[in-house]
Amino acid sequence: MHNPSITAKFIEVRAERKLQEVAIAICEGLTPEDMDIMAKRNITLAQLLHDSGRTIPKVSVIAKPGVDYLVRLSEEEILRLLEQVVPANVAVLRRYPSFASSVIRDLKAFAKGATT
């Protein structure tokens, strides 16, 4: 039997885990001190990835329901998910709310398929 609520929950959990995996990958080599400098210099996540030659893999069409779910999450919900895997980096984001908004906006854009 098909139960949409179980399916939807599975998609949400999978999307949250993928977001956390991406955050871990982005934060490898990106110390909280580096993020502090980025915030003070107004460097966006997209700029950093572009300048460093790193890219975010394209999102498959199959992942669209999960992407839609992530894009609907509030900034605080995104920060709570990220805090579980990169707490020191999130501490920097919490000190700079406009920088946090910029990072989350970039993450959502990447999730929707934008590339750097």
**pTM attached to this predicted model:** 0.84
- Please list the pLDDT of the chain residue by residue as tens digits (116 residues): 456 689 889 999 988 998 898 888 888 878 899 999 999 999 988 888 888 777 665 555 567 888 899 999 999 999 999 999 999 999 999 999 999 999 999 888 887 776 54
* Beta carbons within 8 Å of 18's beta carbon, 6+ residues apart: 63, 66
Can you tell me which residue has the tokens 């989350």?
104
Are the C-beta atoms of 100 and 110 separated by less than 8 Å? no
Residue 30 amino acid letter = L
